[in-house]
């Protein structure tokens, strides 16, 4: 193999990149190129025969394994100073660079590797191939049946139209982590599906000047209760004297517009599963109830459990009328609240 590194590159990598058109790489995108053997072959891949002398130089080859993919680095370039392999430095270019992922020590294919943007080597003038810059990677989630040691086989071809083509092959080792080969956990360990419990509904009218709470059991205003309204100079907050915690319903976060319930649109035969909530969002107080426009709140009592005690301590409520036009100088106002509740 001859490679002397005695002359600078005549064409800079910037010029080469500027001349390049990103079309398709390797597999089936360019009908003038043979299909990549990394695809679906069930037997060992066929390897090209490296040339005795080559103008191809591999530098800095490596692999970095992430959570779901392995990314490859390094550069493939041409030794323009080797006159035995490059007679016309202005014409020398890569005409093919292919990738095969195999189980280490074999030629048995698994997985695939490709650039982030496919590249048509047959029809573009390329003199430098930076693997990391062009996003060469392999998805560890697909195409593999085993874990352990693997190799990326890189086959590169350089031609100048005068001398015999240079053909070189290099391997980049990497590991596919054992987590991809672990048996899935038994479904018996998964949390059981929550079954919705029927909810009853009622409307209560209160005035925050007196009896600022709602007693769910009596369905009436009270001095203390499950849902209380704390009046400030410019806000009205939520609290409870019975241990209820509050969160804005999470229905608008599930990409299902059919359950985005509001003042004019409520569920038919409502159950607890109609009103979603994030358990981590529950809090003892909510600072500004009236700033929320046309959305339900969920109230959860410490006695409620969707699996063991689903019939008590679940509330969903919304302000049908905030009384904005009737509030006094101290921000007290009459409000109409629609409440859905489990049996008490």
Interval 139-157 mean pLDDT = 93
| Tens digits of residue pLDDT in 90-124 | 999 999 999 999 999 899 999 999 998 889 998 99
The predicted pLDDT at position 344 comes to 60
Q: What percent of the chain has pLDDT over 90?
A: 58
The predicted pLDDT at position 280 comes to 84
Which distant-in-sequence residues (6+ apart) come within 8 Å of 157 by Cβ?
A: 48, 94, 95, 96, 97, 165, 166, 167
Residue 90 and residue 160: Cα distance in Å, rounded? 8
85, 197, 200, 261, 272 from 268: Cα distances, Å? 79, 13, 11, 11, 12
Residue 336 and residue 268: Cα distance in Å, rounded? 21
| Tens digits of residue pLDDT in 303-329 | 888 888 888 899 999 999 998 889 899
Nearest alpha carbon to residue 121 among 37, 47, 25, 13? 25
Interval 152-180 mean pLDDT = 93
Q: Between these two residues, 179 and 220, which has the higher pLDDT value? A: 220
The predicted pLDDT at position 190 comes to 55
Q: Any idea which fold 13-181 has?
A: Immunoglobulin-like (2.60.40)
Q: Please determine, for residue 189, whether its predicted confidence score (pLDDT) is greater than 60.
A: no
The predicted pLDDT at position 10 comes to 28
Q: What percent of the chain has pLDDT over 70?
A: 84
Residue 175 and residue 39: Cα distance in Å, rounded? 20
Which distant-in-sequence residues (6+ apart) come within 8 Å of 37 by Cβ?
A: 45, 46, 98, 100, 109
Confidence of residue 191 (pLDDT cuts 50, 70, 90): low
| Tens digits of residue pLDDT in 271-284 | 999 999 988 889 99
Nearest alpha carbon to residue 210 among 226, 227, 237, 229? 229
| Tens digits of residue pLDDT in 135-144 | 999 999 899 9
Backbone angles phi, psi at 280, to 5 degrees: -75, -10
Q: Are 276 and 247 in contact (CB under 8 A)?
A: no
The gap from C-alpha 87 to its chain's centroid, in whole angstroms, comes to 49
Q: Please determine, for residue 3, whether its predicted confidence score (pLDDT) is greater than 50.
A: no
> What are the tokens at 153?
């086989």
Q: Please determine, for residue 185, whether its predicted confidence score (pLDDT) is greater than 70.
A: no
Q: For the chain, which residues make up each domain, given as ranges?
A: 13-181, 200-341
Strand pairing partners for 335? Answer: 206
> What are the tokens at 325?
């036009």
Q: Please determine, for residue 22, whether its predicted confidence score (pLDDT) is greater than 60.
A: no
Residue recorded with tokens 């590169």 = 156
Q: Please determine, for residue 61, whether its predicted confidence score (pLDDT) is greater than 60.
A: yes
193, 260, 318, 338 from 264: Cα distances, Å? 30, 11, 11, 11
3-class state of residue 279 by DSSP = helix
The predicted pLDDT at position 93 comes to 95
Residues composing the chain: 344
Residue recorded with tokens 């080792």 = 173
Residue 305 and residue 23: Cα distance in Å, rounded? 57
What is the pTM (predicted TM-score) of this model? 0.46
The predicted pLDDT at position 287 comes to 85
Mean pLDDT over each residue of the chain, to the nearest integer: 83
Strand pairing partners for 239? Answer: 228
CB atoms within 10 A of CB 159: 19
Interval 45-52 mean pLDDT = 92
């Amino acid at each position: 193999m001859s490679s002397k590194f005695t002359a600078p590159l005549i064409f800079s990598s910037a010029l080469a990149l500027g001349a390049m058109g990103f079309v398709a790489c390797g597999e089936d995108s360019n009908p003038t190129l043979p299909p990549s053997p990394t695809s679906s072959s069930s037997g060992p891949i066929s390897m090209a025969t490296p040339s005795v002398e080559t103008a191809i130089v591999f530098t800095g080859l490596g692999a970095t394994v992430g959570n779901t993919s392995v990314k490859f680095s390094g550069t493939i370039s041409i030794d323009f100073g080797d006159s035995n392999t490059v007679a016309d430095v202005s014409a020398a270019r890569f005409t093919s660079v292919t990738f095969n992922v195999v189980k280490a020590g074999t030629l048995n294919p698994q997985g695939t590797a490709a650039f982030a943007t496919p590249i048509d080597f047959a029809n573009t003038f390329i003199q430098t191939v930076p693997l990391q810059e062009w996003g060469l990677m392999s998805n560890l989630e697909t195409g593999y049946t085993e874990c352990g040691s693997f190799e990326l086989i890189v086959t590169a071809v350089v031609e100048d139209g005068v001398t015999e083509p240079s053909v070189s092959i290099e391997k980049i080792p990497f590991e596919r982590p054992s987590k991809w080969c672990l048996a899935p956990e038994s479904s018996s360990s998964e949390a059981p599906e929550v079954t919705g419990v029927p909810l009853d509904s009622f409307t209560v009218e209160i005035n925050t000047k007196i009896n600022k709470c709602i007693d769910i059991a009596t369905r009436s205003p009270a001095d203390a209760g499950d849902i209380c309204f704390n009046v400030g100079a410019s806000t009205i907050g939520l609290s409870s004297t019975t241990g209820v915690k509050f969160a804005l319903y999470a229905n608008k976060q599930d990409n299902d517009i059919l359950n985005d319930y509001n003042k004019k649109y409520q569920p038919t035969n409502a159950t607890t599963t109609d009103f979603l909530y994030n358990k981590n969002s529950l809090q003892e107080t909510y600072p500004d109830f009236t700033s929320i426009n046309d959305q339900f709140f969920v109230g959860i009592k410490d006695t409620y459990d969707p699996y063991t005690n689903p019939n008590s301590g679940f509330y969903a409520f919304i302000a049908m009328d905030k009384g904005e036009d009737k509030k006094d100088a101290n921000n007290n106002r009459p409000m109409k609240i629609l409440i859905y509740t489990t049996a008490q």
